[in-house]
């Protein structure tokens, strides 16, 4: 593999000194970019795009052509794993994801397989290899998965949910059944992420989109415990470098201390937590990634610069910060506003990385 020319992301995730705060955006390859919409059109459906390694590579690289981002992230979907477990993923037009065969009964859980990533998820591994080759060492490639709890919400509900009636009903009335489902899913995710590393991913992120809908006790037992299980099973070194792992629970700001003890290198933060206070709470145990309100990008470039400066100042001096939005970039954002954010991070952050760092 080619030498990595920009390793700021990997260094910051391990709290090693950097010259500039690295920056990328969740959903940076997405609908706000006209060139993404054109490739998506060419591919057919959203899943057709995920399953085509050449086109997945094309959209992964598109934001890097526009903005001087410090990382690429694999273009894929968190539901590839339950789909490979045989649940029959499909997208109804304008409705979000559905599974043909939701997981509800003992028998449903018992028959869930742990897919072989190079077989049932080979298209993802091919995409990782294609992207790594195309990147040619420009920036590191982040691989990812959904968290077991987040995947379980879709697997049990059969799609997106507002009230999580089925999965919470199972959690409260049949906790052992849900634990079996989560254990199988955690083993599947571990194998999936390790295969991504073997294929070339240089950092990993676990997205726990729905952990924040749980009570604190339920979060620890049904979400965080399985993210810890995954972290313990991951390959943490490849190509002679550490492969940093990031955990992100949306609306998880109340549980940062627990999350910091799960063994990952970094935590993602949404915008409802002050990043300076978060840093004081987690100390030197983990790096932090975040945490600009994605809605700031609706504002003017001058306002964007001011708000970027506020996040950088709140984190303060020293390494251990990867700049990002607190959640995915909204589809209606003007790409020029994303450019203003990236530029502001690179222009304003060197002062926080002085010689003493």
Residues that bind a copy of itself in the complex, under the rule CB under 8 A:
163-165, 168-169, 172-173, 212-218, 251, 253-254, 271-274, 277, 293-296, 298-300, 303, 307, 310, 330, 332
- CA-closest candidate to residue 140, choices 208, 186, 196: 196
Judged by beta carbon, residue 29 or residue 256, the one nearer a copy of itself is 256
Contact by Cβ (8 Å): 180, 109: yes
Q: Identify any residues that bridge with 245 across adjacent strands, giving them in sequence order.
A: 204
Catalytic residues: 27, 31, 40, 77, 154
Provide the minimum distance between the beta carbon of 42 and a copy of itself in the complex, in angstroms, as a whole number: 27
Judged by beta carbon, residue 82 or residue 294, the one nearer a copy of itself is 294
Between the alpha carbon of residue 84 and those of residues 53, 115, 120, 241, 313, the distances in Å are 17, 6, 6, 30, 44
CA–CA distance, 233 with 299 (Å, rounded to integer): 42
CA–CA distance, 190 with 187 (Å, rounded to integer): 5
Provide the minimum distance between the beta carbon of 334 and a copy of itself in the complex, in angstroms, as a whole number: 12
Provide the minimum distance between the beta carbon of 293 and a copy of itself in the complex, in angstroms, as a whole number: 5
Provide the minimum distance between the beta carbon of 210 and a copy of itself in the complex, in angstroms, as a whole number: 12
Provide the minimum distance between the beta carbon of 69 and a copy of itself in the complex, in angstroms, as a whole number: 23
């Amino acid at each position: 593999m080619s030498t990595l020319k920009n390793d700021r992301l990997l260094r910051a995730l391990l709290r090693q000194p950097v010259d500039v705060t690295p920056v990328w955006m969740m959903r940076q390859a997405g609908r706000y970019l006209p060139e993404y919409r054109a490739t998506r059109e060419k591919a057919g459906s959203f899943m057709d795009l995920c399953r085509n390694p050449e086109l997945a590579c094309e959209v992964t690289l598109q934001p890097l052509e526009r903005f001087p981002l410090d990382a690429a992230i694999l273009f894929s979907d968190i539901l590839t794993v339950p789909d490979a477990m045989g649940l029959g993923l499909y997208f109804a037009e304008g409705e979000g994801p559905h599974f043909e065969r939701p997981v509800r009964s003992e028998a449903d859980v018992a028959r869930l397989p742990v897919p072989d990533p190079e077989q049932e998820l080979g298209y993802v591994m091919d995409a990782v290899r294609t992207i790594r080759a195309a990147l040619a060492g420009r920036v590191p490639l982040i691989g990812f998965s959904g968290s077991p709890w987040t995947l379980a919400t879709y697997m049990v509900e059969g799609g997106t949910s507002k009230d999580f009636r089925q999965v919470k009903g199972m959690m409260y009335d049949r906790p052992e059944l849900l634990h079996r489902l989560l254990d199988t899913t955690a083993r599947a995710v571990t194998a999936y992420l390790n295969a991504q590393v073997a294929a070339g991913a240089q950092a990993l992120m676990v997205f726990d989109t729905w952990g924040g809908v749980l009570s604190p006790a339920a979060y620890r037992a049904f979400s965080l415990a399985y993210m810890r299980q995954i972290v313990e099973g991951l390959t943490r070194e490849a190509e002679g470098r550490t492969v940093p792992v990031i955990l992100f629970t949306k609306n998880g700001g109340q549980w940062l201390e627990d999350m910091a003890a799960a063994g990952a290198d970094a935590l993602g933060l949404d915008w409802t937590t002050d990043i300076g206070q978060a840093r004081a709470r987690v100390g030197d145990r983990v790096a932090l990634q975040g945490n600009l309100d994605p809605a700031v990008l609706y504002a003017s470039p001058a306002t964007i610069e001011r708000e970027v400066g506020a996040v950088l100042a709140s984190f303060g001096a020293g390494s251990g910060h990867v700049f990002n939005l607190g959640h995915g970039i909204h589809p209606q954002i003007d790409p020029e506003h994303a450019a203003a954010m990236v530029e502001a991070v690179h222009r304003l952050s060197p002062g926080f990385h002085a010689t003493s760092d």
